Amino acid sequence: MVSKKIEVYDTVLRDGSQSERVNFSVEDKLIILKALDDIGMTYVEGGWPGSNPRDIDFFKKATKAILKNTRLTAFGSTRRRGMTATNDPNLRAIVESGVAYATIFGKSWDLHVKDALRISMEENLALIADSVAFLKKHMAGVIYDAEHFFDGYKHNKEYALKTLLFADKAGADRIVLCDTNGGTLPWEIEAIIEDVKRSINVGKLGIHLHNDTETAVASTLLAVQLGAVHIQGTINGYGERCGNANLCSIVPSLELKMGYKVLGRRLRQLKEVSRLVDELANLPPNQYLPYVGESAFAHKAGVHVSAIVRNPRTYEHVAPALVGNRRRVLVSDLSGKANIQMKSDELGIDLKRAAPIAGYRKDFSNRLSAIVKTVKEYENKGYEYESADASFELLINKSLHRQRSFFKLVGFRVIDEKRKEDEPPIAEATIMLEVDGKLEHTAAMGNGPVNALDNALRKALEKFYPELANVRLLDFKVRVISSGEGTDAAVRVLIESGDGTTTWNTVGVSENIIEASWLALVDSINYKLLKHKKLHD
């Protein structure tokens, strides 16, 4: 096992917030800082302390926080041309931010020196040296980010290396090689780092890669293998354009596959932190992310599920719990007996003790076969149970003759009326139900036909089942699933419902969108009533 400790530097609060549609508030940033400290992140970059009111406010509040594991850093650039480091407002803001660690970037690519800064090559070297030396006098640690280093190296190797030497001589504690445009491929990264190691102590080297060629994670791992001790990236890979190197992929690989010391036991909190950052960014989680995504340990094919029942290592490269994730078994027309068995176990349904199914022998194997057949028949009609666990549980109960009938539909009618061109439509649903021999007839309005039907259904049932009072329809998705003639096509409706404590998903399929919605709504209500009954029996 490798014993070397790797420093992990997260820049989601600054570089990550440059992602399109990501905009963290000061409170969001403070919550993320605490979460990253709890998980054991070595450094967290807070932002530019003097660049905008939000970051100024953040540093005022963040420097009062008690951090157990993390070194909060302030970010900025080298001094401006024609100005001393002492008088540079950016560098002064870093020093006055109240943090002990600074990260500054400087130009490594002669193209930027000439076209962006419009100064001489020698003056750029002076900017780097002066800025690092100034911060070194006032800060506990200085990290130098060599911006565009790999592009600079490829265009003018000698000058790019010289910028590193000036930062090193001025006292930088870490020298971070940046692929700012994200276009350098792994074998180029390897060759360039090997050359850099001839000039710079490898114990000072770090890596900061953008993901424009989808190789940032691989190249970061390669850099560590080549001796880098400091890695930069972001939770979930957030960042400019295509994002930064994803720490949620890098850290587990370093810890679990390469044997480096990174987060230790706190690695089990990784998925939780990943979800927190998604939530505060107001973006849906990427379910396909390695390690922390909902699909990272999801198994659908019957052959796969049958194998992991015997030994999870057959189709899982690490144990899900090590990163705070879980194994999921999906049910579909590709399912076999193992899928049904594992999914039933997950839902707490004991198939071995179930009553025999009509037409099948009582033994467990044939009971599974009956359920597999039923699932495949429904999937062939367009049902999808991967995203509708509640409907799947009800389907199993129905197959086992365990499904109680909580109510019976006598009939319903839905009216969607638009009276004036410049006014929204009016939706009204009327419904008649029978509950334990008693008829209930009621109506309700809604902002659409499905919402009206949902309101009428719950209104009719609440006097019999008061536990439905808190149930709400949270999400509603419709997908056309057959190639019928235009609006004649069959549709699948997926509904997410919740009661303030838990959420569940149901599905309905029909050529009529109202009927498909009704089927999903009925499953939602039946599931809630079934769970309530089990809880109170």
- pLDDT at site 126: 97
Give the span between the Cα atoms of 33 and 58, in whole angstroms.
10
| pLDDT band, very low/low/confident/very high, at 336 (cuts 50, 70, 90) | low
At position 49, the amino acid (one-letter code) is P
Give the contacts of 310 (CB within 8 A, at least 6 positions apart). none
Domain co-membership, 344 together with 234: no
pLDDT tens across 71-117, in order? 999 999 999 998 999 999 999 999 999 999 999 999 999 999 999 99
Domain boundary among the residues 229, 249, 281 is at 281
Give the span between the Cα atoms of 277 and 231, in whole angstroms.
19
Domain co-membership, 329 together with 243: no
Domain co-membership, 164 together with 123: yes
Q: What is the percent of the chain with per-residue pLDDT over 70, rounded to a whole number?
A: 92
Residue with the two structure tokens 């403070």: 30
**Tokens (6 digits) for 307:** 């194998």
Q: Is residue 73 part of a domain?
A: yes
Domain co-membership, 307 together with 268: no
- Decide if 19 contacts 275 (C-beta within 8 A): no
Q: Is residue 380 part of a domain?
A: yes
Number of domains in the chain: 3
Q: Is residue 216 part of a domain?
A: yes
Domain co-membership, 366 together with 444: no
Q: Is residue 133 part of a domain?
A: yes
Domain co-membership, 313 together with 368: yes
Q: Is the pLDDT of residue 125 over 80?
A: yes
pTM tops 0.85, yes or no? no
Q: Is the pLDDT of residue 519 over 80?
A: yes
Give the span between the Cα atoms of 415 and 418, in whole angstroms.
10
Domain co-membership, 275 together with 419: no
Residue with the two structure tokens 């931010």: 97
**Tokens (6 digits) for 501:** 């404590």
- Decide if 374 contacts 395 (C-beta within 8 A): yes
- Decide if 182 contacts 153 (C-beta within 8 A): no
Range of the domain at 131: 7-281
Domain co-membership, 309 together with 328: yes
Closest CA to 196 of 216, 226, 240, 239: 226
Mean pLDDT of 300-305: 76
pLDDT tens across 231-255, in order? 999 999 999 999 999 999 999 999 9
Domain boundary among the residues 346, 369, 399 is at 399
**Tokens (6 digits) for 470:** 């808190």
What is the Cβ-side half-sphere exposure of residue 359, based on CA atoms within 13 angstroms? 9
- pLDDT at site 1: 45
Give SS3 for 337. Answer: helix
CATH number of 259's domain: 3.20.20.70
Domain co-membership, 112 together with 193: yes
Domain co-membership, 446 together with 342: no
What is the Cβ-side half-sphere exposure of residue 297, based on CA atoms within 13 angstroms? 20
Task: Say which residue, 125 or 309, is predicted with more confidence.
Answer: 125
Phi, psi at residue 247, to the nearest 5°?
Answer: -65, -25
Q: Is residue 274 part of a domain?
A: yes
pLDDT tens across 464-493, in order? 999 999 999 898 989 888 655 555 678 999
Q: Is residue 2 part of a domain?
A: no
How many Cβ atoms sit within 10 Å of the Cβ of residue 136?
A: 16
Domain co-membership, 360 together with 437: no
pLDDT tens across 376-430, in order? 778 778 887 877 889 988 888 877 777 778 999 999 999 998 888 888 888 999 9
Domain co-membership, 420 together with 339: no
